[in-house]
């Protein structure tokens, strides 16, 4: 990786003002931080063009956090950055490190946890709040209707909280951000590029996950990310539960069999498919029982018919992914009457050799 370089771009002078104001943009985090810094990606270009004090930033790179906070919140924002730095030292942050985004643009990537795909780390985190409560199913549907992480955050606060939430919430956040950064190459690279710099989330109204009102808050999200950064640095990434293919933008497309909680339409379709599978199985069981009454007439041709039927209906799955009883085995039991689920190769009276379906 090339050594850090910095580029400078000058503001145009305002009316009646002589001279220029110098702005510094670093392509990489400086080896020695002289002040808190914020990562500005190309995705923020439109927002910055509309914001006085940010419209001259040369994209992309690390810029002064003081400059950003002053442009957004005036002297109060600048003072907040400096006060926080007295508690944490000079720090870095990026909107990509947060789970909810209000000012800056970032589309959270979906994540996979336990073979289930969620619409981002905040979706998973908020949904876990109601896990095990009577309202969990309702919360799942409500979050499926949410269109962004901020809406998901609001939905999560509207439902019953599990009794052990305070004990498990940090571990759940670790799972969420580990999935987010380990399953996305560009985010992982951005996190690792921060070296050993403190990661601090400036949030006036959050003393636990952020720096809090006076900058002395717990900053737990920053601490969780610093732990993850060390974990990714020390150990190779564990294999994902599914094969992951990386596209040109560094985002992961995961080939998962189960994709729940994506939206209301998909949830309804899953329920419909499950009901259809159950009805289909019930009909086939009824057909198997009816076949038992004509066992004598069909015993001679049963082996061939069995193979045809088995090829058509082998190993159907229900909505939970568990294998239902193979239709060939059901027919075998009803025709031979021996009660053995073996395909006939364990000494049944018909002497079938159906080892393919043992």
Of 163, 175, 159, 170, the C-alpha closest to 127 is 159
Rounded to 5 degrees, what are φ and ψ at 296? -65, -40
pLDDT band at residue 242 under the 50/70/90 scheme: very low
Question: pLDDT for 280-329, tens place per residue?
Answer: 888 888 887 676 655 555 444 444 444 444 444 443 433 433 333 333 33
Complete domains list, the chain, with CATH: 6-90 (no CATH), 111-254 (1.10.357.40), 264-357 (no CATH)
Question: pLDDT for 172-188, tens place per residue?
Answer: 999 999 999 999 999 99
Per-residue pLDDT for 1 more than 60?
no
In this prediction, residue 349 carries a pLDDT of 40
Strand partners, 10: 22
In this prediction, residue 7 carries a pLDDT of 38
Q: What average pLDDT is seen over the chain?
A: 73
Rounded to 5 degrees, what are φ and ψ at 25? -130, 125
Q: With pLDDT > 90 as the criterion, what percentage of the chain qualifies? A: 44
Q: What does the alpha-carbon distance between residue 300 and residue 305 come to, in Å, rounded to a whole number?
A: 10
The number of beta carbons lying within 10 Å of the beta carbon of residue 255 is 9
Under 8 Å CB-to-CB from 29, ≥6 apart: which residues? 4, 37, 62, 92, 193, 194, 195, 197
> In the chain, at which residue ranges do the beta strands (DSSP E only) sit?
6-10, 22-26, 37-40, 61-64, 92-94, 111-113, 116-118, 244-246, 252-254
Distance of CA 85 to the CA centre of its chain: 31
Per-residue pLDDT for 234 more than 60?
yes
DSSP 29: -
Question: pLDDT for 4-47, tens place per residue?
Answer: 444 333 333 333 333 333 456 788 898 899 999 999 998 898 88
pLDDT band at residue 105 under the 50/70/90 scheme: confident
Distance of CA 357 to the CA centre of its chain: 39
Q: Is the bond into 176 cis (omega within 30 degrees of 0)?
A: no
In this prediction, residue 278 carries a pLDDT of 77
Q: Which of 61-75, 90-104, 135-149, 283-297 has the lowest mean pLDDT?
A: 283-297
Q: Which of 9-13, 56-60, 228-232, 278-282 has the lowest mean pLDDT?
A: 9-13
Cβ 333 vs Cβ 342: under 8 Å: no
The number of beta carbons lying within 10 Å of the beta carbon of residue 102 is 9
């Amino acid at each position: 990786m090339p050594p850090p370089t910095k580029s400078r771009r000058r503001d145009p002078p305002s009316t009646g003002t002589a001279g220029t104001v110098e702005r510094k943009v670093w392509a990489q985090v400086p080896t020695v931080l002289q002040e808190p810094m914020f990562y500005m990606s190309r995705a923020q270009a439109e927002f910055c063009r509309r914001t006085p004090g940010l419209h001259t930033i040369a994209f992309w790179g690390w810029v002064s956090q003081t400059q950003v906070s002053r442009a957004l919140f005036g002297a109060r924002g600048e003072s907040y950055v400096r006060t926080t730095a007295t508690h944490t030292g000079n720090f870095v942050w990026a909107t990509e490190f947060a789970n909810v985004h209000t000012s800056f643009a970032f589309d959270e990537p979906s994540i996979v946890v336990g073979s289930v795909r969620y619409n981002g780390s905040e979706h998973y985190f908020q949904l876990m709040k109601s896990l095990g409560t009577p309202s969990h199913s309702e919360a799942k549907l409500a979050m499926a209707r949410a269109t962004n992480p901020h809406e998901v955050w609001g939905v999560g606060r509207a439902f019953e909280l599990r009794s052990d939430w305070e004990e498990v919430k940090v571990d759940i956040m670790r799972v969420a951000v580990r999935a987010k950064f380990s399953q996305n190459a560009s985010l992982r690279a951005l996190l690792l590029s921060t070296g050993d710099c403190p990661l601090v989330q400036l949030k006036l109204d959050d003393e636990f996950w952020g720096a809090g009102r006076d900058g002395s808050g717990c900053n737990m999200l920053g601490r969780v990310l610093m732990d993850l950064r060390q974990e990714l640095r020390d150990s190779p990434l564990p294999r994902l539960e599914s094969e992951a293919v990386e596209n040109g933008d560094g985002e992961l497309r995961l080939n998962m069999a189960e994709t729940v909680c994506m939206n209301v339409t998909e949830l309804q379709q899953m329920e419909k498919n499950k009901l259809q599978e159950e009805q289909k199985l019930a009909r086939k069981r009824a057909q198997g029982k009816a076949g038992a009454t004509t066992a004598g007439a069909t015993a001679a041709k049963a082996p061939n018919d069995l193979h045809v039927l088995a090829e058509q209906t082998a190993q159907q799955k229900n909505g939970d992914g568990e294998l239902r009883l193979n239709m060939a085995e059901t027919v075998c039991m009803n025709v031979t009457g021996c009660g053995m689920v073996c395909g006939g190769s364990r000494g049944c009276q018909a002497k079938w050799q159906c080892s393919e379906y043992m």
